[in-house]
Structure 1
Amino acid sequence: MLNCNRVYPSVTLNVLWQVYNPQIRANSQVLRAISKHQADMRTQRVNSHLPGRSFHLFRFHFLKFKGVMEENLSHLVLLLKRLDIADMGQCKFLDRPAPEALMQALEDLDYLAALDDDGNLSEVGIIMSELPLEPSLAKALIAACEYDCVDEVLTIAAMLTAPSCFVTAEPSREEAAVAHWRPLMHTEGDHMTLINIYNAFLERTYTRAGNSPVTDEAWCTTNFLSHAALRLAAVIRAQLLEVMQRIELPVSLPAFGCQDNCTNIKRALISGFFLKVAHDVDGSGNYLLLTHRHVAHLHPFSSYLCRQPRPDPPGWVLYHEFTVSRDNCVRIASEVHPEMLVELAPQYFLGNLPSSDGKELLMEGVCRSVCSMKTKPQTGSKRWKKPT
C-alpha cells in the first residue's frame, strides 16, 4: 500500500469462502484469496487517515468466480420456471452455472413435488414460488397448513432465514454463553429451541406511548443473543405472514408447547427437508448423512449437547445445514422417527434412496412400528387443499 511517500506492505491473506457443492448438496469451506471488494475496503481504510493508493495483484482466474456459479440454484430455477423459461439449456445466463448444478436443482424441485410430469411447475410449485424462501423451507411452510402448525413453522422459517441469533463468544466465555442459552433449549430439538428464543424475545418487546414496539437489547446482550438478527427475524416473519394472507393460505393459531404440536412441526419440516436426514451409526454421535454418506457430528451448541443432564444422542435427526469443514457439523438438528420419513416421503426413501446400511436401518425401524401404525386410529389434523 502506498500512502504519500511511504509504502506499507499488506499481505493478501486467504479467507474461508462458502462454496455450494451440488454433488453432496452441502456447502464446503474453501480457502481463497480476498476478493476485489475486500481489497477495495482496505483502500478505504488507508484513505481514511491520509490520501494514498493501494495496488493488488490477482491472477486472472480469480475474476471468474461468480456467486451464481457457487450457490444452490434451486431457488433460481424455481423462479425461472415461474417465468415460463422451461429450457434451462437455452437460457442465456450472464455466467452459466455448471450443468450438474442445474440438474441437481431440478432434481430437488422434483422431489419436493414442485414440478409436474412435463417439467413445468405444479400447483405446489406455483405456491412455493410465491414465498420468498428457499424451496425446502417454502415446502415445509405449505405442509404446515396441513398439520395446523403454520404459526410455529413461520417462526422457524424466519429464524433460519435471518442470520444466526447466537453470538459467538470468546473461548473463555463459552461456558457462560451456554449457561444462558440452556433455559431456552427445548427437549425436542434445535428447531423448537429457535421458537423458544423468538418467543422469549417477543416477551421482552414493549411499546412506548405513540411509538413503534421497542425490544430489550440489554436482554439480548446478557443472553449472548444477536439483537439485530432477532429483529430481522421478526420483520421476515411479518412479511411471510403477509404473503400467506395474500395468497389465501390458512394460518393456524399458536399451539406451541403440546406434544401433538411438536410432532406436527416435525412432519411439516420432514416434508421439506427429507433430503437432509442423518442417523447415528454407533450410538456415540457419529451421524451418517443418507444422501451422500458423509460422517458428521452435531454442532457443539446443539441443544442435545448443551442440556443438563446430557441426553443420549438421537438415533435419527433432520438437519438444516451441513458444511464440509474441519469439524463436519450439522447445524439446527431435531430428532425424527424412521416411520415418519417413509410415511411423508415414500417416493424418495422407498424408491430413489440408494441401497446402503442407512436404508436398511431405516427399513428396520419402519418394520418395528408398521403394525402399531396400522392399528392406531388416525388422529392427525385435517388436510388442507388449495382453494379453487
Structure 2
Amino acid sequence: MSKSEKSRETAKYESRKLPIYQHKDKLIQAVKESTFLVVTGETGSGKTTQLPQYLYKAGLCRICVTQPRRVAAITVAQRVSHEMGVRLGEEVGYQVRFDDCSTKDTMIKYMTDGCMLREILADPSLSQYSIVILDEAHERSLNTDVLLGLLKKTLSKGSRGRKTPLKLVVMSATLETEKLSSFYENCPVFMIPGRTYPVTEKFCNLIGPKDKDSSVYVKEAVKVTLDVHTNETAGDILVFLTGQSEIEKACDLLFEKAEILDYRYDVHDQTVEGLLILPLYGSMPTDQQRQIFQPAPKGVRKCVVATNIAATSLTIDGIRYIVDSGFVKQLNHNSNVGLDILEVVPISKSEAQQRAGRAGRTSAGKCFRIYNKDFWDTCMPEYTIPEIQRTSLTSVILTLKCLGIHDVIRFPYLDCPEERFILTALKQLYQYDAIDRRGQVTRLGRLMVEFPLPPNLTRALLKAAALECEDVMLPVAAMLSVENIFIRPGKPEGQKEAEIRHKEIAACAGGSNDFLMLLSVFEKCRASDNPSAWCKEHWIHWRAVKSAFSIESQLREILLRLKQQKDFPHETFEGSRSELLRQCLCLGYFTNVARRSIGKSFCTMDGHGTSVLIHPSSCLFGQELHLDWIIFHDVLVTSRVYVRTVCPIRYEWVKDLLPKLHEIDVYELSSVAREEVTDEEMAQWEKKEAAKRQAETTKDAAKKLEKRNGESSITEARARYLERKQHRLQRKGT
C-alpha cells in the first residue's frame, strides 16, 4: 500500500470516529424529506466534511457548500477530495474570489459566500445544484445573512423550471436554532451531539479594561505561550491573535525565545524536545496552510498562531492548550469618519467559549485567557453583533437590486440592519451613478456588479476602460485587492534597509503618489527575470504580488467580456499617465477627498469634516505642506485618524463631483428603499432640481454683473474709453 493510500485509509478510519457518523442515515433521510433543514453541532463534529459526502454517496449530486472564509473553503475541499480519493478540482472542488478550482462536472463544490452571491446573479434559481449548504451560519457574515434571505425567497417560490426541487441545509455550531427554524417556516432541526472533553479555563490577569485600546496583548500572549510550553505536559498549542502582522510579530518573538531554551532544565516535560511555530491567517498560500494539519515530528510540540479562523472554520487535531488574547480584528462602520474600518476589538463571551472548546476535542484541555475577570465582565459583549448590522451594505444592496429585489427594507433579513445603513448604501450607489433617482439600476450599475471589487474601485476601473487605458488601472485595482505588499521588519537594521528600498521604488514612481507606487512595484516585478528574488531584494511580499498578478488577469478577462457589449462607454483623454490614473481615481474616490487645513492635517470633504493625517507608511508623509487636495484609499483609526494609500489631486478634477456628496439627503431615499417612489414625488424632485439649476444660473449671472459693476471694472472701462478717445484725436491731428 502506497503512502497516499495509507493516509487515505487513516482519514477514512478517523472520519468514522466523528460524532456525525452514527447519525449518517437519519441525516440523509432528514435532508430528503425537508426543503429547509437546520443542522447544529459542536465544531469538530464532522458537519462540514462528512455531510456533503454522505449526500453525494446517497445519490444527491451537485452539492454546494458555502464558507465565510476562503482558507476554510480551500482546506476543507482539499480534505474531502483526499478522503474520497479524487483529484482536487474534479469531483470535489472549490471557488474563492479570484481562484476557481472546479469544473462543470464538479459534484461537491466548496465556495465562499461571496462567490455564491455572484452565482445567484448569473443563475437566480441555482439550476445546477440540488442542495445548497450554508455552513458556519453562526458567524453571521454579511454575505451569509443575505444568502439566508435570498434562498428563503427562492425556495418559497417552489421548483418551477427545475427537474428536482432545490434543498437548503443551514449548518451552525452555536446559532439559536429556534430563531433559524422559525425563519424557515418552522423547519426541522437536526442536532448532532458533541464529543467534547472537559476544558479547564484560567484567567492569567495580564491585561485589564485599561488595556482595551493597547497592542500589549501580542507580547502578553507570547509570554503565556512560552509559560505553557515550558510548564505543561506534551500537547499542541493554539494561540488566538488578530491579524497577519500581529501573528508574524508573535511568531518572530516566539522563535527568538524558544531558540535559547535549554530543554534539559527549562522544560518541565522531558518528552518535549522542540517547538514548531506555524502561523495561520486568511491570505496564506495553500501549501503553507497544509502544514498546519500535519502532525509535528516526534518530541516536538506544535504551536499554531492563528486568527479567528481557527475558532470555528477549521479543526486542527492534537490541540490541548489554548492561549486566548481576547481580541479580534473586525470590520465596523465608524460614524465619525463615515467609513468601514478594520478595528481590533474585544471578542464576545460566546466567541471566547468557542475558542476554549478547541482544546477539548481529543482529550481534556486547558484554556489560558491572558485577560482578567474584570475585562471579561466589562469589555466583552455576550454575543458578536452580526456584520449586516455594523458594516457598509453598498455592494449587497446593488446585488439585490440587480436580482430585481428593489424593496430592500422589507427583504427577509434574519436580523434587520438599521434603516440608516440601507439608506446610506442607496445614497452611495446614487453618487456612483449605479442607480437613478427612482432606485432603478443604471447601465453603469449593471457593469459595476460584474466585478468582485468595492464600488469605488470598480467605478475608477470602468472609467479607465472607457478611456482605453485599463492597463494603468488594472494593476492598481489588483494590488489594492491583496494584503499589504510592503515588508516592514521588526528589527531596526532590517527596518532601515527596507525603508531605503521602498524609497527607491517611490522615487522611480515620482515620489508623490502611493497608487502609482503600487503600479510601479507590479510592473517592475513582472518585468524581472526572477520576480521572487526581486521582491526579496526590495522587501516586498512576493506571495501578495503573485496573487495580484492572478487577480489582474481575472479582472482583465471580466473587462474584455464587458467591452464586447455594444453600449460599453468610450471616451478620449489627453494628458500624462499620472494624470490619467489620478483622474480615474477621482471618479471612484471623490467620497474620500480631503483638503489641507492646519499644518500637516487635512479635512475630509464628505460632510463629516474629519481631521486626518497622512500615515507614516505613505510616500507623501513629510510632504504635507506642499499639498492642497488629496484622495485616499482607506483609514486607520488609533488615537488619531490616519489616511493611507494617498495621492495629490487638483481641485478642478473633483469640483463637479463634490456637490454629489450633498445633492441628496439619505432620508429622501426612504421611498426608494421601499420601492414606493410615486410620480408626484419624482415631479417634486425634478422641480427642486430645476429650481436649484435656476438658482445657480442666477447666481452666476449676478457674479458676472457684480464683476462688471465692480470698482476695478469701471476704472478699467474708463481707461479703455480714454485710450480710444486719444487714438481718435491723434487720427484727426494727422
Give, as a single letter, the amino acid of the residue that structure 2 aligns with 1:299: H
Name 1:145's counterpart in structure 2.
465
Q: 1:315 to 1:9 in 2, by over 3 A?
A: same
In the alignment, what sits opposite 1:115? 435
Q: 1:83 aligns with which of 399, 403, 413?
A: 403
Q: Confirm whether residue 277 of structure 1 aligns to residue 277 of structure 2.
A: no
Q: Distance in 1 between matches of 2:430 and 2:621?
A: 35
Identify if the C-alpha distance between structure 1 residues 23 and 145 changes in structure 2 by more than 3 Å, giving closer, same or farther: same
Aligned AA (2:590): F
1:166 to partner: Cα distance: 1.6
Amino acid at match of 1:191: F
Question: In structure 2, what is the Cα distance between the partners aligned to 1:105 and 1:140?
Answer: 18
Counterpart of 2:652 (choices 331, 339, 349) is 339
Q: Tell me, what secondary structure is at the counterpart of 1:20?
A: strand
Q: 1:302 aligns with which of 618, 631, 636?
A: 618
Deviates more, 1:318-327 or 1:51-60: 51-60
Aligned partners of 2:563 and 2:528: how far apart in 1? 31
Cross-structure match for 2:346: 32
Shift of 1:327: 3.2
Give CA-to-partner distance per residue, 1:18-51, whole Å, 9 cap, x none: 312356322353632367567645654x569974
Residue identity in the other structure for 2:628: G
Deviation at 1:203, TM superposition (A): 2.3
After superposition, the Cα gap between the structure-2 partners of 1:117 and 1:205, relative to the gap in structure 1 and judged at 3 Å, is: farther
Whether 1:314 aligns to 2:630 is no
Alignment of 1:236-255 (within 5 A): 236-248=551-563
- Cα–Cα, structure 1 residues 137 and 53, in superposed 2: closer, same or farther, change >3 Å? same
1:179 to 488, 500, 503: 500
SS in structure 2 at match of 1:304: coil
| Structure 2: distance between partners of 1:42 and 1:168 | 33
Aligned pair 1:326/2:646, yes or no?
Answer: no
More deviation, 49-58/172-181: 49-58
1:190 aligned partner:
514
Provide the TM-score with structure 1 as the length reference: 0.75
Give distance in 2, aligned partners of 1:241 and 1:22: 35
SS across alignment from 2:383:
helix
- Provide the C-alpha distance between the structure 2 equivalents of 1:5 and 1:100, rounded to a whole number of angstroms: 43
- Cα pair 1:274 1:341 within 8 Å, conserved: yes
SS at match of 1:100: helix
Are the aligned partners of 1:156 and 1:194 in contact in 2 as well (CA < 8 Å)?
A: yes
Looking at structure 2, the residues matched to 189 and 5 of structure 1 have their Cα atoms a distance apart, in angstroms, of: 52
Q: Is the 8 A contact 1:139 1:272 kept in 2?
A: yes
Q: Which letter does structure 2 place at the counterpart of 1:180?
A: R
Gaps of 5+ in 1: 207-214, 252-257, 354-366, 368-388
Letter in structure 2 aligned against 1:95:
D
Moved more, 311-320 or 193-202: 311-320
Contact 1:27 1:323 in 2 (8 A): no
Counterparts of 1:45-60 in structure 2, within 5 Å, are: 46=359, 51-52=364-365, 54=367
Letter in 2 for 1:125: G
Partner letter of residue 458 of structure 2? Answer: A
* Distance change >3 Å, CA 290–CA 76, structure 1 → 2: same
Cα distance in 1, alignment partners of residues 649 and 470 from structure 2 = 19
Q: 1:134 to 1:4 in 2, by over 3 A?
A: closer
Q: How far apart are the structure 2 equivalents of 1:18 and 1:313?
A: 33
Q: Deviations over 1:220-263 (max 9, x none)?
A: 23322212211111111111111111222699xxxxxx961211
Q: Secondary structure at the match of 2:382?
A: helix
Identify which of 81, 101, 106 aligns with 2:426: 106
Contact kept? 1:318, 1:336, Cα under 8 Å: yes
**Residue 200 of structure 1, aligned match among 502, 524, 542:** 524
Once residues 204 and 197 of structure 2 are traced to their aligned partners in structure 1, the CA distance between those partners, rounded to angstroms, is: 12
Higher deviation after alignment, 124-133 or 54-63? 54-63
Alpha-carbon distance in structure 1 between the residues aligned to 2:545 and 2:414? 35
Pair 1:42–1:5, CA change in 2 (3 A): closer
Deviates more, 1:295-304 or 1:162-171: 162-171
- Structure 1 distance, partners of 2:546, 2:349, is 30
Q: Partners in 1 of 2:354 and 2:488 — Cα distance?
A: 27
Aligned counterparts of 1:156 and 1:311: Cα–Cα separation in 2: 23
**Can you list the C-alpha shifts for 1:72-94, whole angstroms capped at 9, x where unaligned?**
21111111111111011110112
Cα separation, 1, equivalents of 2:529 and 2:390:
39
Residue of structure 1 equivalent to 2:478: 158
TM-score by length of 2: 0.41
Distance (whole Å) between structure 2 residues aligned to residue 94 and residue 5 of structure 1: 32
Q: 1:303 to 1:61 in 2, by over 3 A?
A: closer
**Structure 1 pair 5–288 and aligned structure 2 pair: CA distance change class (3 A):** closer
Whether 1:136 and 2:465 are equivalent positions in the alignment is: no
1:103 aligns to what SS in structure 2?
helix
C-alpha separation in 2, matches of 1:322 and 1:6: 40
Larger Rg: 1 or 2? 2
Q: Provide the rounded CA distance (Å) in 2 between the counterparts of 1:221 and 1:50.
A: 43
- The answer to whether structure 1 residue 223 and structure 2 residue 538 are counterparts is yes
Does the Cα contact within 8 Å between 1:278 and 1:316 map onto a contact in 2?
A: yes
1:348 aligns to 2:660 (yes or no)? yes
- Partner secondary structure for residue 166 of structure 1: coil
Higher relative contact order (CA 8 A, sep 6+): 1
Query: For residue 348 of structure 1, what is the amino acid of its counterpart?
Result: K
Aligned residues: 332
Residue 71 in 1 paired to residue 387 in 2? no
Contact 1:145 1:249 (C-alpha < 8 Å) held by counterparts: no
Could you tell me whether the CA contact under 8 Å between 1:278 and 1:290 is conserved in 2?
yes
Aligned-partner Cα distance in 1 for 2:467–2:663 = 25
